[in-house]
Structure 1
Amino acid sequence: MSESKSTLIFANLNKDDAGHAAQIVQAELEQNGWHTEILAFRGSISEYPDFDRYSLIVSLGGDGTLLYAARFAGPRGIPILPINLGTLGFIAANRMETWAVTFEHWQKGALDPSRRLMLQSYAYRGKKILHKGIALNDIVVSSESGARMIRMCLSINRECFGYYRADGLIVSTPTGSTAYNLAAGGPALHPEISALIINPICPFTLASRPLVIPASNCIDIEIDETKKAGALLISDGHIVANLEKGDVIRIRKYEKSAFLIVPSGNAFFSALRTKLGWSGDNDA
């Protein structure tokens, strides 16, 4: 990470008014003495800048834009200021009306970035590496066909835990716990807890339940059987590899963390209440 006050704005043009919003953010940052560049894209970046030149990345879009930015910022220790232009924006907690206050508090040293655990995954076919990557939300092994289950062997710390016949398995970080994991019946974890969630997707037996394990544990998933379904490896919502019988996916806590500049205090619990409707029963 650069020591200079240099910012890269990730502007997701698939979001309405992202281009105009990027200009507003750029003007505000430059008034505060930051050199700012805008990287506008649709879907993915076509040309990669020298990320080491930047000391701050602003993600302008939704949670997906933030996850994409974390792929580049995480390994370099660059903090991310996420600004939500989407509909939910659970992780990207700042909005256009409020981001400048959060930024000012961080710039003055009154706000520490929220440290988020990331995952590193490897997919092996024998000795061949099919994929190597990092994720902020989750790693998913999924059936390629929604109509057919796959059979997987789950090992924790190199010891076989058991076999799952299901539509797939989710390995989620606390940050990702409120995404696919929650929709699949898993628990919501505070984003700064050091833990991982292993959650089967629509398992064949009701005895297969979500597990919460220490983040230091190592997870291996071997594809035991796919029949005619085929299997996919999905990292933060993006398909990264096609899998077949005998392939092994190794998932570990990544050695570095993502740092998010988000409002302090009870922002997570506020989001549960206001965005997910977890406000309890008024008549209780």
Structure 2
Amino acid sequence: MDAAQWLADDEPIVGVVDPGTDAASPSGTDIAATIEATVPDLGGSIAAESVAEILSGDPSLFVAIGETGLIAVARRAPDVPVLPVGSVPGIESVAETDVADAFTALADGDAIERRRPLLGVAGPGTDDRRRALFDVTLVTNEPARISEYAVESRDDAVAQFRADGVVVATPAGSHGYASAVDAPRLSPAIDAVAVAPIAPFTTATRRWVLPHSDLVLSVERDEGDVRLLADGEPIDTVLPGERAVVDADGRLTTIVVPGISTRA
């Protein structure tokens, strides 16, 4: 882990990604106002636009508000560190009320970087490849409509089962939705994914820890539309006999401020 340096004399640009429509957080803190009041005092400037627009301005740092903001940054996999703000399951983040203190710590060099693995997946009917920081899922479009799925890892058959779906989670994602379907929780120190059926027809169905590359999900029998999603965003519909390949696809560097960042 490298020290995350905030070089004020280099006039850093801070890109703020806040997908919310209300600037006030649930705790009542106006995060945008706090950042606007803090960053210029440390010699930096702020860009509050889309991720693509911020990247075109060569930012030094991203600030991602909440899980949705962090997902938006991760999809671009920028070569720029990101400071998560707000509660984000599986990721150390800064509380809204501690943003000013976190920036002061960054200015003093009192922060570390952690590289989070990303997954990449494309639907069988599209070349639109998406990245996922938390999870990739195959799931029936209608609740309680069981289909049959197969999982294959590096050309070896792992399992075939009937369920509402199947989830593939990164170490960060294993603390979120995947934990609700009893997927194993993973340490961020390993390059692996947790794979689990969603509402399996047979309760004895197993869960697995598998390598995070060359993983194949397929639909063997379809009793309802099956969708492929990356971090909750629909990508494609998967038909019986079609396959979705999940691979490692880069990493996202997040900033952790000791004594300030906490994990939900």
TM-score range, shorter chain: 0.7 to 0.9
Report what 2:17 is aligned to: 10
In 1, the alpha carbon distance for the partners of 2:177 and 2:115 equals: 21
Q: Compared with structure 1, are the counterparts of its residues 188 and 103 closer, same or farther at alpha carbon in structure 2 (3 Å cutoff)?
A: farther
Report what 1:257 is aligned to: 251
In 2, the alpha carbon distance for the partners of 1:265 and 1:79 equals: 19
Higher relative contact order (CA 8 A, sep 6+): 2
In 1, the alpha carbon distance for the partners of 2:118 and 2:229 equals: 15
Q: Does structure 1 residue 181 correspond to structure 2 residue 178?
A: yes
Once the two structures are superposed, what CA deviation does each residue of 1:226-280 show, in whole Å capped at 9, x if it has no partner?
A: 13x11001111111212212221000111x2111113337966xx4xxx5xxxxx
Report what 2:80 is aligned to: 78
Please show how residues 146-225 of structure 1 align to structure 2 within 5 Å.
146-215=143-212, 217-225=213-221
RMSD across aligned positions (CA):
2.4
Report what 1:118 is aligned to: 118
Q: Any stretches of 5+ residues in structure 2 without a counterpart?
A: 1-9
Q: Secondary structure at the match of 2:188?
A: coil
Identity of aligned residues (%): 23
Q: Any stretches of 5+ residues in structure 1 without a counterpart?
A: 40-44, 276-284
In 2, the alpha carbon distance for the partners of 1:71 and 1:173 equals: 14
Q: Compared with structure 1, are the counterparts of its residues 178 and 71 closer, same or farther at alpha carbon in structure 2 (3 Å cutoff)?
A: same
Amino acid across the alignment from 1:101 = D
CA positional deviation for 1:20: 4.1
In 1, the alpha carbon distance for the partners of 2:233 and 2:83 equals: 22
CA positional deviation for 1:6: 1.2
CA positional deviation for 1:28: 0.6
Q: Compared with structure 1, are the counterparts of its residues 193 and 166 closer, same or farther at alpha carbon in structure 2 (3 Å cutoff)?
A: same
In 2, the alpha carbon distance for the partners of 1:130 and 1:224 equals: 22
Amino acid across the alignment from 1:17 = A
Amino acid across the alignment from 1:252 = D
How many residue pairs get aligned? The number is 250
Q: TM-score, normalised by structure 1?
A: 0.79
Amino acid across the alignment from 1:55 = S
Amino acid across the alignment from 1:223 = V
Q: Does structure 1 residue 233 correspond to structure 2 residue 228?
A: yes
